Amino acid sequence: MRKILITIGILCLVTVWGLPMYLNLTGGDVLEVIDQRWYHPLIYIGMALIFVPTILSTVFSLKTVKSGKSAIGLIESVQQTGTYINEQPQILCKVIVTCQGEDSYPAELRAVVPLTSLAQFQPGALIPLLVSSKDPSKVGIDWKGQVSQAEAQQLLNEQMIKQGVSPEMMNIATQGQQAYAKIIDVVPLGEIDAHKISLQLTLGITEPSGEVITVDVQKEIFKSSLSQVQQGQIIRVVYLPEDPSKLVLSLQSDSADLQHVFGASR
């Protein structure tokens, strides 16, 4: 609609400026046209149709969701709109929104971001969101931290369980003991699906006391993380002290992995 109004405005201005030029070239009476009642109002209408929609669009785009349901957003794409407020750039983000107990869905948001925080808004990054209770398509960035770390972790856990991670493993990840482990041996067991691979690992876990314990575990990891799980490398793990064979691996995931965890856009 904005583009249509701007186009009509341009046509109005082309008419009021082009017609006198045409009459001047063809020997017509230019003053007779300029003195018409419609001539000057058409100039004002044309300018209004060009500038007012742009101004209103900017004003309304600055409105953001300030309260609502907690959610996590996976950034699919981000670009600057060219608008600056108090020398801070406005960005347009396409995100996959995940609320507790609901399917993920795509949405767009505009936000004015401090220059010091701009680097955090990259494709594949996770950001805390607030979702309007009246219109789920309206989402905003949770700048004030209304989404607690516990809520964010709960949403992440829910998505991981949907991907087949057992509640027991999620409990270990949140309640277990963190430690470093050296990969003594790694044997690929085969692909699970297009994203994951199964491995047989022998790990040497260094306990807080300094004692090293050796465990054999079978784990499924994202294929993109395979370079992080090679013989001789040191990785972070979270394990149960009473049963060190029950552990989870702390590996970095790329944007494609997060896309898979949080679901494709509907």
pLDDT of 60 > 60? The answer is no
Fold match, 69-153 / 167-253: yes
Strand 88-98 to strand 105-112: parallel, antiparallel, or no bridges (unpaired)? antiparallel
What is the predicted pLDDT for the residue at 46?
Answer: 74
| DSSP SS3 for 3 | helix
**Mean predicted confidence (pLDDT) in 177-193:** 91
Residues sharing a CB contact under 8 Å with residue 251, sequence separation 6 or more, in sequence order: 221, 222, 225, 228, 229, 235
Q: Which of 31-45, 56-70, 147-161 has the largest mean confidence? A: 31-45
Burial class (CB in 10 A: 0-12, 13-18, 19+), 139: buried
**DSSP code, position 224:** G
Higher pLDDT, 94 or 158: 94
Q: Where are the domains of the chain?
A: 2-61, 69-153, 167-253
The length of the chain is 266
Task: Tell me the pLDDT tens digit for each residue of 229-238.
Answer: 999 999 989 8
Strand 243-250 to strand 234-240: parallel, antiparallel, or no bridges (unpaired)? antiparallel
Phi, psi of 28, rounded to the nearest 5 degrees? -75, 175
pTM of the model: 0.48
Assign domain 69-153 one CATH number from 2.40.50, 2.30.30, 1.10.3470, 2.60.40. 2.40.50
Mean of per-residue pLDDT scores for the chain: 78
Q: Which fold has domain 167-253?
A: OB fold (Dihydrolipoamide Acetyltransferase, E2P) (2.40.50)
Q: Which H helix or E strand runs over 106?
A: strand 105-112
Task: Tell me the pLDDT tens digit for each residue of 202-211.
Answer: 999 998 888 8
Instruction: Give the pLDDT band of residue 183 (cuts 50, 70, 90).
Output: very high
